[in-house]
Amino acid sequence: MDTPELLESTQVEASPRIRLWPVGVILALAAGALLTIWQFLDLHRQGLYIKSAEVFLATIGALLVWVLFASRLRWKNRLLACGGVLGLVGLLAATLEIRGVTGDLLLVLEWRWTKTSSEQLTIEAAEVEPGSIPLPVESAHDFPQFSGPDRNGKLAGPRLAKDWDAQPPELLWRQPIGTAWSGFAIVGQYAVTMEQRGDSELVTCYHLTTGELIWTHADKTYFESIIAGSGPRTVPTIVDGRVFTLGSTGQMNCLDLLDGKVIWAKNVAEENIAPSEDGTILPDWGISCSPLVAEGKVLVTVGAEEGRSLIAYDVLTGDEVWSAGDDNASYSSPLLASIDGRPQVLIFNDPGVKSHALDSGEVLWGYDWRGGHPHIALPVVLPDGRVLISSGYGTGSELLQVGQEDSEGWSAEPIWESKKLKSKFANLIVRDGSIYGLDDGILACLDLETGKRQWKKGRYGHGQMILVGDLLLVMAESGEAVLLEPTPKKHRELTRFAVLDSKTWNPPALAGEYLLVRNDKEVACYRLALE
């Protein structure tokens, strides 16, 4: 017969006390790592999230190691616990799918069985009789290209009402739209954008105030990236009754604004970019350059070598006028400028800013800018030959002094540099000696002369901005429209309202009192109250 002492010894050996102190150590180390990351590391916001995710994964891994080797659980229970965790991970992987990221690189997860708008929508027939809407006379109320009439994010008017609670915006129409990060170009009642439906990349023209489909043009092409999503990502340009578009795979079209018929077309990527070793010819996030039309030429960034970085085509025929430069493209668009009386085209390429003579394509000057990340925001051309550039991912902003030293050469020298404004997507707005921009998603104001920050407040995410008269209209990443009074003294938000209810990276368009906003799922048109 077993003695009491033997029974007690056997019972202790069979059921040892669970060792919990390693769990406390693991969690304490994780908390310390997170505190260090967010309080002491000089990283941009996206980098902070990535480091935090690494700590989270390392913590889960350490807890699994504790369960298996240091917990003193029965082996059956250890295996059941680990199997349960792995099973949960497998279930999530089987039912959820990564559908892009936020501007701060947080994953956007959706159920695998949820169809995207590109998968749900088909190519529809026009709802308006072709040619029934007369071509309008272009006016100051039009929004004919990316970032407005002058491609600088500034509109002279109208004078918007400052309280959207007292005078709510009127919803004219709201409907699904094919996947894309494109915006709208608007002339008269013609509102043109790009979208992906199935395996076709479309140029679509809607009636501004009714949302009816006027015409569509389709090309069998498709681009997709896990991070950047699918579909086109540029804004059409409308000039003299013609629509110029550039798709994510390089398909370039010149279409008739009246009915969408093709005037000329070509694929600029296939014609100019030599395939890499893996056979690809496109940038990681697709071609993202909105066409620029100037002096009878349409200019697009191709990013090819051997003098084919920037190419100018004849607007009437599509024939090549000139090509120049050797820089790889980034995700910015060409901008027309005049510096020292010389018309030139500025483009924020992968290695930095380049300037090309408008008449010949000759490279006039360049300024290297830290690479390894996308350059998206347009340069801002200021009086007296100053040029402002900015990019995200912890880089910052820099003000340059550009000038022609003599008849043979140009120079570009830094005036100041600041990490207090890092614009990832949105173009910067300069007004009355102050710079306004989204610094890692928070609105910031810098002094133009010194680069010193005046204030930083208001988290709007990685959205877009338009200066309307003396008011700043911010389209937040959340889908809200926000109206502010831009002043260097303090952050002054006036009013806001929810336009859309999901991630909105697309640039808004404002034609008179009509605000047209879209994202990769839906589009809405509002009539804003005026003073």
- pLDDT of residue 8 exceeding 70, the answer is no
N- to C-terminal Cα distance for the chain? Answer: 99
- What residues are paired with 442 via a beta bridge? 439, 459
Among 298, 231, 239, residue whose Cα is nearest residue 265: 298
Least confident of 6-20, 36-50, 344-358, 360-374: 6-20
How far from 132 is each of 139, 206, 214, 257, CA to CA, in Å?
20, 13, 9, 12
For 429, residues 6+ apart whose C-beta sits below 8 A from its C-beta are: 153, 154, 435, 436, 437, 465, 467, 472, 486
Q: How confident is the model at residue 99 (pLDDT cuts 50, 70, 90)?
A: confident
Backbone region of residue 279 per phi and psi (left: phi > 0; alpha: psi in -120 to 50; beta: other values): left
Where do the domains of the chain lie?
A: 4-96, 125-527
In the numeric block, the tokens 């993202």 are attached to 288
Tokens coding 386? 């100053």
Please work out, in degrees rounded to the nearest 5, the angle formed at the alpha carbon of residue 364 by the alpha carbons of 358 and 366: 120
How far from 38 is each of 26, 53, 77, CA to CA, in Å?
19, 12, 37
- What residues are paired with 187 via a beta bridge? 190
Distance CA 515, CA 176 (A): 17
pLDDT tens, position by position, 263-316? 999 999 999 887 766 556 677 888 999 999 999 999 999 988 889 999 999 999
Least confident of 117-121, 236-240, 434-438: 117-121
In the numeric block, the tokens 């699904």 are attached to 176
Residue 74 half-sphere exposure toward CB, CA atoms < 13 A: 7
Q: How confident is the model at residue 26 (pLDDT cuts 50, 70, 90)?
A: confident
Distance CA 98, CA 91 (A): 14
Among 335, 327, 332, 321, residue whose Cα is nearest residue 363: 327
Q: Regarding the domain with residue range 125-527, which homologous superfamily does it belong to in the CATH classification?
A: YVTN repeat-like/Quinoprotein amine dehydrogenase (2.130.10.10)
Mean model confidence pLDDT for the chain: 90
* pLDDT top residue among 112 and 521: 521
Q: How confident is the model at residue 12 (pLDDT cuts 50, 70, 90)?
A: very low
Q: Which helix (H) or strand (E) holds 468?
A: strand 464-468
Predicted local distance difference test score (pLDDT) of residue 279? 59
Average pLDDT for 318-344: 94
- What residues are paired with 482 via a beta bridge? 474, 496
- pLDDT of residue 6 exceeding 70, the answer is no
Please say whether the beta carbons of 525 and 209 come within 8 A: yes
How far from 46 is each of 352, 371, 389, 482, 503, CA to CA, in Å?
22, 16, 20, 24, 16
In the numeric block, the tokens 């290209």 are attached to 145
* pLDDT top residue among 473 and 119: 473
Query: CB 366: neighbour CB atoms within 10 A?
Result: 17
Average pLDDT for 201-214: 96
Average pLDDT for 23-33: 90
Distance CA 326, CA 305 (A): 4
Sheet hosting strand 251-256, strand order edge to edge: 237-239, 242-246, 251-256, 262-267
Angle between helix 45-69 and helix 21-40 axes, rounded to 10 deg:
170
Predicted local distance difference test score (pLDDT) of residue 117? 78
Would strands 453-459 and 522-527 be described as parallel, antiparallel, or unpaired?
unpaired
User: Structure pTM?
Assistant: 0.90
Q: What is the dihedral of CA 255, 346, 146, 197, to 10 degrees?
A: 60
Angle between helix 45-69 and helix 75-95 axes, rounded to 10 deg:
150
pLDDT tens, position by position, 472-493? 999 999 999 999 999 999 999 9
Tokens coding 505? 């990276």
- pLDDT of residue 9 exceeding 70, the answer is no
Least confident of 1-10, 176-185, 298-307, 352-361: 1-10
* pLDDT top residue among 215 and 101: 215
Would strands 154-155 and 464-468 be described as parallel, antiparallel, or unpaired?
parallel
Percent of the chain predicted with pLDDT > 70: 95
Helix (H, G, I), strand (E, B) or coil at 411: strand
Predicted local distance difference test score (pLDDT) of residue 137? 78
Please say whether the beta carbons of 125 and 252 come within 8 A: no
Distance CA 289, CA 331 (A): 6
Among 256, 253, 235, residue whose Cα is nearest residue 149: 235
Tokens coding 167? 């005078």
209 alpha carbon, distance to own chain's centre: 26
Query: CB 423: neighbour CB atoms within 10 A?
Result: 25
Average pLDDT for 419-423: 94
The residue type of 375 is H
pLDDT tens, position by position, 488-509? 999 999 999 999 999 999 999 9
